[in-house]
Structure 1
Amino acid sequence: MPLTLTRALEAVLDGEDAEALRRATARLIEVYRSGAPPSAQVLRDPVSAAAYAAYRMPATHAAVSRVLRYAAEVVPGLAPRSLVDVGGGTGAAAWAVAEAFPGLGSVEVLDGSADALALGARIARNGPSVLAGARWTRRDLAANAPLPQADLATVSYVLGELPDDLGGRVVDAAMAAAGVVVVVEPGTPRGFAAVHAAREQLLAAGWHLVAPCPHEDACPLAAAGDWCHVGVRLDRTALHRRLKGASLGHEDEKVSYVVARREPAALPEGRVLRHPVTRKGMVRLEVCRADGNAAAEVVSKRQGPRYRAARHAGWGDRWPIGGTDPAD
């Protein structure tokens, strides 16, 4: 059975002081829900790092995994050999990349928290060989030092915690370091604002979008005061439920993201923006379209293959406007 992040977390966190983890988790939740950039290092000690790993790694991993799946659908030949994970903390994004791309040969995780990096390295020793051999490097992003060169740079759950000017410098550094950049933030208005700023910065630098956008025009949701995000459902572990005081066996992580690269990609004709609404004989989709507009589309049973395609469509999926039935 392949090693998984869940098993790795269990192997490393088993035996930790449960009450200390609960207190640290409550503090982290309060910090992240405040919506303001932290004024000090959040993962400031081993207990905070352990709480973060138990509470946030599964959700971050699930979100980045879904984003990478969307990117690979648009660029089927996407196969990075090297990764730099910027602000990677305990390495959740690195786990997602290693699982998505079996040919990955090298990983470097950068973060300002020595405790997060040390814990991430311990967790990674229970994972794939590329993670077990990863480099875990302490780096102050405000220092403006160049990032290590890599095929892929991930910047996940980082920009929203930085001042706007520093966030822009981090995106510039990622573009200088890699041929593909993945930016992931919480699917909130603030998180989307950080993603949208990165999108505009990437486009202004001459980069090309891969996902989620089916076009490179102005974002119609931002123009309307809305925000683009997608929901990712993940199973909660027993430890996760205990730390959050939760009863449900799953949770829905809302995520905003952008993936871009130096070369143009064959973008889809549309992207589903919300959960499709299914009624007898019809499906209503909210779609961002290749022409730069976002609008509702109602697909009826009389439309045959197009209707079957709509019934298979999910929030965040490409919308095959040509009517291809994904079941065929």
Structure 2
Amino acid sequence: MTRTAFIFPGQGSQRVGMGRDLAERYPELAGSVFRAADELLGFELSRLCWEGPADELRRTDITQPAIFVTSMAAYRVWAAHAPRPVAVAGHSLGEYAALVAAGVLDWTVALGLVRRRGELMARVNETTPGAMAAVMGLAAESVEALCSDLSGAVVDVGPGGDVGPGGDGGPGGDGGDGVDVVEVANYNDDEQTVVSGTVGGVEALSRAVRKKADPAVKVVRLDVGAPFHCSLMRPVEEQFSADLDAAAFADPSVPVVANVTAAPVWTGAAARAALQAQLAGSVRWRQSMRTLVDLGVETFVELGPGRVLSGLARRSHPEVPCHPTSDVRRMEKAIGELGAGEFVGAAVRP
């Protein structure tokens, strides 16, 4: 039997319509997950996933539970038709779905944590507006060096705390003390590194990259609701700790490769610590994929909306097949190729 790893996507994979065809094709599997989530959350998350509007679906406090629930719906369909994984991992938010698949968290507990996480992260942008950008074609070490040079730069703060004419961030663009922040948030693959920080810090890094005048190097501003995975999230880390402490974490049934260390966690306590650390820590996805391959994984299955992780996997490890499952056609194609079998891992039971 093929040694398979499940990988679960994070924020940015959302799209209007996600999960709808799976819910309609498999009403007692995927559909029941959406119905239960609507009841647990107290609003129609399913409607937002399937009908939008897109602007509301992009809100951090909505996007995070929406992607998590869509991933759980896909996971439940897979779990009913195909073999269990030998390891799991999730990109940022996706780590919660990975922990459910490994039997560490009950899915309803994970949904509550994800909702709280999204709410807390969204509040950061209200007090400290931030930004994120993807740097493509530049080695991660070079991006790290630029971040080190630019972080902590004092900007020109005008009356009322806004960034004045000499600053980079526009109104409210600094870290609160007239100091810019820009840090590596995601090590996605050898050619793509994501940075996060204050608006001024990210814009300063973007200018520094463009000054290199290398047509192979690009910087793309990301459409996100907050500066994830950088030190601006430290307040969230502190506030969220009580929620994590109150949740029950079991030991994983299969290795879960943690974002912050790119190493497997083997206990519930380690999984809890990894979730807290990833809020303000870098997502070491490139290294995590290497760890999965080193664990003997022979194929990846991406469970959730979009195909972002499948694309990253194909670039970093073209020798390892990757199967997206974002719609019925792709799901059933992947199940057909990997073969049916009794699933003996953790199950989603709404």
Same fold flag (TM > 0.5): no
Q: Which has the higher strand share?
A: 1
Q: Relative contact order (C-alpha < 8 Å, sep 6+): which is higher?
A: 2
* TM-score (ref. length: structure 1): 0.30
* TM-score (ref. length: structure 2): 0.29
